[in-house]
Amino acid sequence: MAKDVDWSNLGFDYVKTDKRYVSNYKDGKWDDGVITEDDKVVISECAGVLQYAQTVFEGLKAYTTEDGRIVTFRPDLNAERMIDSASRLEMPPFPKERFLDAVKQVVAANREWVPPYGSGATLYIRPYMFGSNPVIGVKPAEEYQFRIFVTPVGPYFKGGAKPITVKISDFDRAAPHGTGHIKAGLNYAMSLHAIVTAHNEGFAENIYLDPATRTKIEETGGANIIFIDGDGNVVIPKSNSILPSITRRSLMVVAEKYLGLKVTQREVLLSEAENGDFKECGLCGTAAVISPVGKIVDHGKEYAFASGMDQMGPTLQKLYDTLTGIQMGRLEAPEGWIYEI
């Protein structure tokens, strides 16, 4: 029996569900892991995560398909990215097969929380791990906890598919040789002042520029960026300091293989947006799916996209329909993209 939730009116907020997965790392190994009802974490006051922010996370979703199956989308890539993130912060990677099994267990244990097909909501899955033993000198922890909780969510941006206005941030998200390419909590902590500032000024998100020259478009606080040029083809900003979004990597395949579009990944200058070289712009990610951008504001100058402020542009709409069609089982997925629970 599905839970008594008003699925269609969910925002992107935490709802406590019934079960979560926990595994602990001690004496050089991960324990077997359990599903538990206990949503509380008890750690030392001096835990590595509390002192030096040693924590990484992931985000993926479970979907109810048109024919009633529960599936996840490319969780193997989340497992791999979390291994990369952990390695960069000197944390013991949680093995890929264990990650996939844990996702399966926690979704199965919360089956009733998976929003029904067509409700507009999905089950967001949040794996994360953190240093748990006392650390006072600056060094990696020796003990860690890996957890996954799930929470049903609606659209990340209020208004769903309505185009948003974003600003060019005065803050940097990542250092040139820093941690922008991994999913570390620290990247989000340092974006909080920037996002509060943007929201106070009436913007939905920040576009961050490359920190070295501040001339190139990187990504937003929680999503990669995708542009459609004047010929209707896809342009993706290339940078070593953006998160390798699984949604964006999937959209590149969808654009080429399903829609026959040309996809170019290259450095994108802010001046190209200023010159009106792009007709459509969208933010893509697990939470954002594809959220259309109607306008970029750069210190008072407005760069409006031809697609306007009323609806998603035609090419992004096709990408959106195809990607979500694959995720919801309406379209055949490329081999290995869909994991049934």
The one among 54, 55, 145, 286 contacting ligand PLP by CB under 6 A: 286
Q: Which does 210 bind (CB under 5 to 8 A by kind): ligand PLP, ligand COI, none?
A: none
Q: Which span (201-209, 271-279, 285-293, 321-329) binds ligand COI, by CB under 6 A?
A: 285-293
- Nearest alpha carbon to residue 91 among 140, 125, 137: 140
Nearer to ligand COI, 33 or 285 (CB): 285
Among 64, 110, 132, 224, which residue sits at the site for ligand PLP (rule: CB under 6 A)?
A: 224
> Least Å distance between CB 204 and ligand COI?
13
From 219, 211, 212, select the one nearest 236 (Cα to Cα). 219
Q: Report the candidate in 36, 84, 25, 33 with the shortest Cα–Cα distance to residue 58.
A: 84
What is the C-alpha to C-alpha distance for residues 98 and 80, in angstroms, rounded to an integer? 11
Touching ligand COI, residues 193-232 (CB under 6 A): 222
Residue 287 lies near ligand COI (rule: CB under 6 A)? yes
Q: Which residues contact 97 (CB under 8 A, 6 or more apart)?
A: none
Provide the β-strand partners of residue 265: 236
**Smallest separation, CB 14 to ligand PLP (Å):** 16
Site string for ligand PLP, 233-262 (x = CB under 6 A): ----------x-xxxx--------------
Q: Does 154 bind ligand COI (CB under 6 A)?
A: no
Q: Which does 246 bind (CB under 5 to 8 A by kind): ligand PLP, ligand COI, none?
A: ligand PLP
Give the C-alpha separation, 11 to 16, whole Å: 14
Site string for ligand COI, 112-151 (x = CB under 6 A): ----------------------------------------
The CB density around residue 232, as the number of other CB atoms within 10 Å, is 15
Taking CB atoms, the residue at the shortest distance from ligand PLP is 285
Binding residue for ligand COI (CB under 6 A) from 110, 286, 307, 327?
A: 286
CA torsion sign for 34, 50, 126, 247 is negative
Q: Out of 7, 59, 88, 311, point to the residue binding ligand COI (CB under 6 A).
A: 59
Phi, psi dihedral angles at 201 (to 5 degrees): -90, 0
| Residue 261 CA, distance from chain mean position | 24
Is 183 catalytic? The answer is: yes
Distance between start and end Cα atoms, the chain: 17
Integer CA distances (angstroms), 4 to 26, 112, 118, 156, in order: 39, 9, 16, 21
In whole angstroms, give the CA distance from residue 229 to residue 316: 11
- Considering only 127, 131, 222, 292, the residue that binds ligand PLP (CB under 6 A) is 222
Q: Shortest gap between Cβ of 256 and ligand PLP (angstroms)?
A: 17
Distance CA 102, CA 319 (A): 30
Q: Does 135 help bind ligand PLP (rule: CB under 6 A)?
A: no
Question: Cβ closer to ligand COI: 279 or 327?
Answer: 327
Nearest residue to 65 via CA among 326, 254, 250: 326
Determine the distance from the C-alpha atom of residue 4 to the mean position of all C-alpha atoms in its chain, rounded to a whole number: 27
Catalytic residue among 104, 183, 279, 318: 183
- Count of residues in contact with ligand PLP, rule CB under 6 A: 12
Can you give the binding site for ligand PLP, defined by CB under 6 A? 59, 219, 222-224, 243, 245-248, 285-286
Give the footprint of ligand COI on this chain (CB under 6 A): 59, 222, 285-287
Residues catalogued as catalytic: 183
